[in-house]
Structure 1
């Protein structure tokens, strides 16, 4: 089994950067078209999304496991129904930016017994929705509002509470299809506050936005639709990652 915790902790400790691809099973992606994934330079593949349905989830996880090669596959579940043995790890998330008990703890309680029977690495993760006030599918499904990119203190306090509760990983998400990503100020403040592996996703649809997220302190950025629509975009993103990581070695 490929250790996702080792990957994330290694990135955070070394200040190197990683790239993850988020595959949404609800989009019924033809995974046979993604044979290029093996050896592509991706660091992680996430399976999941804002939907709470289990339809296609198992098949997608199984199919990705076959094409991933040495790239770890990690579950990014939208509910307790989205579990699979065909992965290496699971982001066991609590939506700490919201106050809906279903996503703070209820789905986690329902998932725990089955998860205990699976040979998956469990990563306790604080999941924080933060953007410019856009209401997207993830907010509709979770029945929560995002924190504001401008409210640095509230986002920092939320992350710090998650750390004190024992969460070891953090995911800042602007939401799929967001017009604006998580602000660099928020990324920087959260990273310096928790000093733990930080994943950032949502709205990262340009090279400039990706560079900004890396510079602000993101350890791993998550891409989705942009890769599916244009695999060439991934090559450009990986070049940025490589340049950044090489510059650390030089310095």
Structure 2
């Protein structure tokens, strides 16, 4: 059952907007406290983190599953150790913005046999780190530098290369805790060039920034632990999403 791919394709095709929450179990106080998840209008839950070990990751997935209800849980892997048969899907990502073979292909080779055995829905995803020059934890772990918000031509060429290599989904990420998100001009150019479902995250810590990402062409916006710090933030962002989709919750 291709729940997540159908979701992303539907958002892109129908020009609707989706919202995902990225949960890093290392940065949350307690997964079981999220009893409100089942009733929320979130479209997707992503689980992952750059430093998670396998046991912590699996425990988080198992704890989230009964809380998520009908909301799909998708793996946002930081390494080949972050896999679980209890998830619904996996963003099978290649870090195409960097040149470190470990995250271009090596981690994927290590994960592939287990992913096949688990029967996870697989989403071939081109992952691009793009920001205003900040070096964050994701850059340290991946041993790569982000592409610049100011270098539209290079970002566009990188995304196109991913498309020509067969990637069907794209994720533009400024990095967790980024002060400056991916610029609207970058989002718009990548969306125009690849014409594929586009996910955007990192640094989207205000309704204004979320709206700017949607306006530029993001199909699915990802917000992080700002929800836990300020539960009211989720309501604000959902209002932004609602204004594009014209539906009532």
TM-score (norm 1): 0.96
Q: Secondary structure at the match of 1:213?
A: helix
Unpaired segments of 5 or more residues in structure 2? Answer: none
Query: How far has the Cα of 1:10 moved from its partner?
Result: 0.3
Q: Distance in 1 between matches of 2:198 and 2:125?
A: 10
Aligned partners of 2:25 and 2:60 also within 8 Å: yes
**Cα deviation digits, residues 150-175 of structure 1 (max 9, x gap):** 00000000000000000000000000
Find the counterpart in structure 1 of residue 61 from structure 2.
Answer: 61
Matches within 5 A, 1:222-241: 222-241=222-241
Counterpart position of 2:93: 93
Query: Does structure 2 retain, via aligned residues, the 8 Å contact 1:26–1:55?
Result: no
Q: Name 1:169's counterpart in structure 2.
A: 169
Q: Which residue of 2 aligns with 1:121?
A: 121
Partners of 1:4 and 1:196 in 2: CA distance: 14
Distance 1:52 1:232 in 2: 27
- Structure 1, unmatched stretches of 5+, are none
CA deviation digits over 1:132-160, x for unaligned, max 9? 00000000000000000000000000000
Task: Describe the superposition over 1:168-222 as per-residue Cα deviations: whole angstroms up to 9, x where unpaired.
Answer: 0000000000000000000000000000000000000001100000000000000
In the TM superposition, what whole-angstrom CA distance separates every residue of 1:97-117 from its partner, at most 9, and x where no partner exists? 000000000000000111110
RMSD of equivalent CA atoms = 1.2
- Please list, as runs of the form range in 1=range in 2, the aligned pairs for 1:14-163 lying within 5 A after superposition: 14-51=14-51, 53-163=53-163
Task: Quote the offset at 1:230 in angstroms.
Answer: 1.0
User: 8 Å contact 1:191–1:218 — kept in the other structure?
Assistant: yes
Contact 2:77/2:91 (8 A) holds in 1: yes
Q: Which residue of 1 aligns with 2:215?
A: 215
What secondary structure, in the 3-state scheme, does the structure 2 residue paired with 1:126 have? strand
Q: How many residues align?
A: 247
Query: Counterpart of 1:85 in 2: which secondary structure?
Result: coil
Aligned partners of 1:236, 1:2: CA distance in 2, in Å? 29
Report if the CA contact (8 A) 2:27-2:225 is conserved: no
Distance 2:87 2:52 in 1: 18
Alpha carbons 1:28, 1:56 under 8 Å: kept: no
